[in-house]
Amino acid sequence: MANTSDIKNGLCINFNGKLCQITEFQHVKPGKGPAFVRTKMKVIETGKVLDNTFSAGHKIEIVRIENRDYQYLYEEPDYFIFMNKDTYEQVSIPKPMVEKPEFLQEGMMCNILFHAEEEMPLVVDLPMHIESEVTYTEPGIKGDTATNTMKPATIATGAEIRVPLFIDTGEKIKVDTRTGVYVERIKD
């Protein structure tokens, strides 16, 4: 078992029966009283951020996790199927574990966080940006580039996003998968 002196950013620990990843920490040595460590932790299953203070020397249980690249293959009623490109091993990920599934594209490479001892998938991270074709949007008007006005559009994955007025059906665009926001038009 480790203690608070081993805490660092990115460390995954078992805290009150939940897997948590340390996002921030600060060692504090006050003038009076014992030292302590202030932490911010993200609960892996829910994404909720917790603040906690550990006294110096407090025992913590470190959990080994691994990031692995997997390719998205297809969707089933309750699962998304991913494949390891090196071993061709397929893994079924329950739909609620994938954040922003509307941006999944067949063949897309995703990063999956695994609990190393139990070989259990924990989190699926999509690439930061995807390129997709606009399948439907209202026609654009020439010269509509000066304003910041946006209109709704549907992309090839089925997701609905907002795009500038000058974007037309059939154009390729880049979308931020974390926020679902239009980034730029892709020129061929």
Query: What architecture is domain 2-62?
Result: Roll (2.30)
CATH 2.40.50.140: which residues of the chain?
A: 65-125, 129-185
Res. 144: pLDDT tops 70: no
Both structure tokens of 165: 């007025």
Q: How far apart are CA 64 and CA 24, in angstroms?
A: 18
Q: Percentage of the chain surpassing pLDDT 90?
A: 49
pTM here is: 0.75
Please state, rounded to an integer, the average pLDDT across all residues of the chain: 89
For 54-84, b/e burial (b = at least 16 CB within 10 A) is: beeeeebeebebeebebbbeeeeeeebebee
The CATH class that applies to domain 65-125 reads: mainly beta
Q: One-letter amino acid identity for 97?
A: M
* Domain topology for 129-185: OB fold (Dihydrolipoamide Acetyltransferase, E2P) (2.40.50)
Q: What is the pLDDT of residue 128?
A: 92
Which residue spans of the chain are classified as CATH 2.30.30.30?
2-62
Q: What residues are paired with 173 via a beta bridge?
A: 132, 185
- Please name the residues in contact with 35: beta carbons below 8 A apart, sequence gap of 6 or more: 27, 28, 29, 55, 56
pLDDT, mean of residues 130-142:
85
